């Protein structure tokens, strides 16, 4: 998904292989966020609507937010849930990875989408327009996707037992029906 529309491929490309590698790395992918963020950008995996930060936010936190948003945009909510499960006990807090970081990311992303939405809502409710511009239509689809996934993820975060249960379901191999 981009801010100009969505793109689908028939075969797994370099980007998908890279994101799958991140899935395999699990919670350790956030230990050195600068390297991962640079690799994401080099492979063309970046948020459709990047977050904007003021000067008080460290580069490390910006990189982590970029990674989290990219994972959400790529449909990797299960990876986000696995990160939350690993971070619940505080074992990654010494490197800056905690549930508080996830909540701050959700808050920042929500504010970003809300700000962008205000720009598009004016166009949406303008009765003189014959049609909705493509970028506004794309944003509406994107914002619905983000709101739905963030709500679901936040609901999961508010129930620690559900995070553990979700991760157990994800990590268990599926039995074959044959």
The answer to whether residues 154 and 106 touch, using CB atoms and an 8 Å cutoff, is yes
Residue 142, pLDDT > 50, answer yes
| DSSP class per residue in 120-148 | HHHHHT-TT-SS--HHHHHHHHHHHHHHH
Residue 143, pLDDT > 80, answer yes
Give residues with Cβ within 8 angstroms of 59, minimum separation 6: 34
**pLDDT given for residue 47 in this prediction:** 85
pTM of the complete model: 0.76
Lowest-pLDDT choice from 94-98, 129-133, 147-151, 152-156: 129-133
Q: What is the pLDDT of residues 10-27, one digit of tens each?
A: 445 666 776 777 767 777
**pLDDT given for residue 109 in this prediction:** 92
Place of tokens 């679901």: 152
The answer to whether residues 145 and 72 touch, using CB atoms and an 8 Å cutoff, is no
**pLDDT given for residue 172 in this prediction:** 41
48/143 Cα distance (integer angstroms): 10
Cα-based distances in Å from 127 to 15, 29, 131, 140, 168: 40, 47, 10, 17, 50
Q: What is the pLDDT of residues 76-110, one digit of tens each?
A: 888 888 888 888 888 888 888 888 899 899 999 99
């Amino acid at each position: 998904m981009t801010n100009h529309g969505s793109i689908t491929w028939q075969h797994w490309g370099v980007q998908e292989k890279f994101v799958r590698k991140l899935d395999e790395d699990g919670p350790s992918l956030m230990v050195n966020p600068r390297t991962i963020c640079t690799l994401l950008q080099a492979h063309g995996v970046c948020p459709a609507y990047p977050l904007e930060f003021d000067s008080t936010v460290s580069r490390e936190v910006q990189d982590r937010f970029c990674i989290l948003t990219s994972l959400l945009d790529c449909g990797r909510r299960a990876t986000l849930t696995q990160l939350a499960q690993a971070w619940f006990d505080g074992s990654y807090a010494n490197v800056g990875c905690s549930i508080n970081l996830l909540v701050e990311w959700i808050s920042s992303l929500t504010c970003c989408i809300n700000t962008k939405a205000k720009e598009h809502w004016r166009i949406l409710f303008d009765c003189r327009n014959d049609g909705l511009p493509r970028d506004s239509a794309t944003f509406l689809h994107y914002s619905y996707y983000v709101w739905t996934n963030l709500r679901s993820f936040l609901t999961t975060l508010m129930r620690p037992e559900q995070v553990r249960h979700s991760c157990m379901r994800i990590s268990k191999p599926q039995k074959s029906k044959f």
